[in-house]
Structure 1
Amino acid sequence: MSKYKDIVDYIIDEIDSNNIKFNEKMPTIRDLSEKFNCSKQTVVHAYDKLQKEHIVYSIPQSGYYLVDKKEMHSKKANKIINFAAGSPDESILPYEDFQHCLNQAIDIYKGTLFNYSDAKGLPELINTLKTHFQDYQIFCSSDDIFITSGSQQAINILCSMPFPNGKSNVLVEQPTYKGALKALAINKTPVIGIERKSNGLDFEELERKFANDNIKCFYTIPRFSNPLGLSYTNDEKKQIIRLAEKYDVYIIEDDYLADLEYRNNSYPMYYHDISSRVAYIKSFSKILLPGLRIAAVVLPKILRNTFEDYKRWMDLNTSVLSQGALEIYIKSGMFKANRKLLKQTYSERMNEVKKICSESHINNIDCHIPETGFYGYIEFLKGVNINLLIRECNKKYIYIKDLKDDYLNDFFSNDIIKISVGCSGIDEINKGMSDIFKIIQNWY
Structure 2
Amino acid sequence: MPRYHSPLGTSYSQEEKKGILELAQKYNVFIVEDDYLADFEQNSKSDPIYSYDDFTHVIYLKSYSKIIFPGLRIGIAVIPEKLIETFSQYKRILDIDSSMLSQAALEIYIKNGMFERHKEKMKATYYSRANCLISALGKNQKECNQTFFQYTPIKNIAFHTYIELNEQISCEKVIQRLKSKSIIVDGTTNNYLRSFIAKDSILKLNISNVEEEYIEDGISQIMKQIF
Within-5 A mapping of 1:209-228: 221-228=1-8
Spell out, residue by residue over 1:158-191, the C-alpha distance to the aligned partner (whole angstroms, 9 max, x if none): xxxxxxxxxxxxxxxxxxxxxxxxxxxxxxxxxx
When the two chains are superposed, the root-mean-square deviation of aligned CA atoms in Å is 1.9
CA–CA distance in 2 between the matches of 1:295 and 1:381? 42
Query: Are residues 419 and 239 of structure 1, via their aligned partners in 2, closer, same or farther at CA, if it must alter by over 3 Å?
Result: same
Aligned equivalent of 1:438:
224
SS of corresponding position for 1:363: coil
CA–CA distance in 2 between the matches of 1:276 and 1:423? 38
CA–CA distance in 2 between the matches of 1:311 and 1:402? 37
**Is residue 375 of structure 1 aligned with residue 160 of structure 2?**
yes
Aligned equivalent of 2:137:
357
**How far apart are residue 364 of structure 1 and its match?**
4.9
* Among 189, 192, 205, the residue aligned to 1:419: 205
Q: Which amino acid aligns with 1:419?
A: L
**Is residue 387 of structure 1 aligned with residue 167 of structure 2?**
no
Q: Which amino acid aligns with 2:140?
A: S
**How far apart are residue 386 of structure 1 and its match?**
2.5
SS of corresponding position for 2:164: strand
Aligned equivalent of 1:341:
121
Aligned equivalent of 2:108:
328
Work out whether residues 244 and 251 of structure 1, in 8 Å CA contact, stay in contact via their aligned partners in 2: yes
TM-score, reference length from structure 2: 0.89
* Among 299, 317, 341, the residue aligned to 2:97: 317
Query: Are residues 436 and 222 of structure 1, via their aligned partners in 2, closer, same or farther at CA, if it must alter by over 3 Å?
Result: same
Q: Which amino acid aligns with 2:124?
A: Q
Work out whether residues 229 and 369 of structure 1, in 8 Å CA contact, stay in contact via their aligned partners in 2: no
Query: Are residues 277 and 364 of structure 1, via their aligned partners in 2, closer, same or farther at CA, if it must alter by over 3 Å?
Result: farther
Spell out, residue by residue over 1:207-264, the C-alpha distance to the aligned partner (whole angstroms, 9 max, x if none): xxxxxxxxxxxxxx11111222111111110011111111112111111111111112
TM-score, reference length from structure 1: 0.47
Query: Are residues 419 and 272 of structure 1, via their aligned partners in 2, closer, same or farther at CA, if it must alter by over 3 Å?
Result: same
Query: Are residues 369 and 284 of structure 1, via their aligned partners in 2, closer, same or farther at CA, if it must alter by over 3 Å?
Result: farther
Query: Are residues 412 and 301 of structure 1, via their aligned partners in 2, closer, same or farther at CA, if it must alter by over 3 Å?
Result: farther
Work out whether residues 228 and 377 of structure 1, in 8 Å CA contact, stay in contact via their aligned partners in 2: yes
Work out whether residues 386 and 415 of structure 1, in 8 Å CA contact, stay in contact via their aligned partners in 2: yes
SS of corresponding position for 1:398: coil
Aligned equivalent of 1:39:
none
CA–CA distance in 2 between the matches of 1:368 and 1:327? 40
**Is residue 366 of structure 1 aligned with residue 146 of structure 2?**
no
CA–CA distance in 1 between the matches of 2:7 and 2:113? 31
Q: Which amino acid aligns with 2:82?
A: I
**How far apart are residue 285 of structure 1 and its match?**
1.9
SS of corresponding position for 1:280: strand
CA–CA distance in 2 between the matches of 1:289 and 1:275? 30
Aligned equivalent of 1:256:
36
Aligned equivalent of 2:50:
270
Unaligned runs of at least 5 residues, structure 1: 1-220
State the aligned residue count.
Answer: 221
Query: Are residues 431 and 364 of structure 1, via their aligned partners in 2, closer, same or farther at CA, if it must alter by over 3 Å?
Result: closer
**How far apart are residue 298 of structure 1 and its match?**
0.8
SS of corresponding position for 1:417: strand
- Structure with bigger gyration radius: 1
* Among 231, 239, 247, the residue aligned to 2:27: 247
CA–CA distance in 2 between the matches of 1:315 and 1:354? 43
SS of corresponding position for 1:376: strand
Query: Are residues 224 and 309 of structure 1, via their aligned partners in 2, closer, same or farther at CA, if it must alter by over 3 Å?
Result: same
Query: Are residues 406 and 258 of structure 1, via their aligned partners in 2, closer, same or farther at CA, if it must alter by over 3 Å?
Result: same
SS of corresponding position for 2:140: coil
**Residue identity (%):** 39
**How far apart are residue 407 of structure 1 and its match?**
3.7
Q: Which amino acid aligns with 1:423?
A: N
SS of corresponding position for 2:151: strand
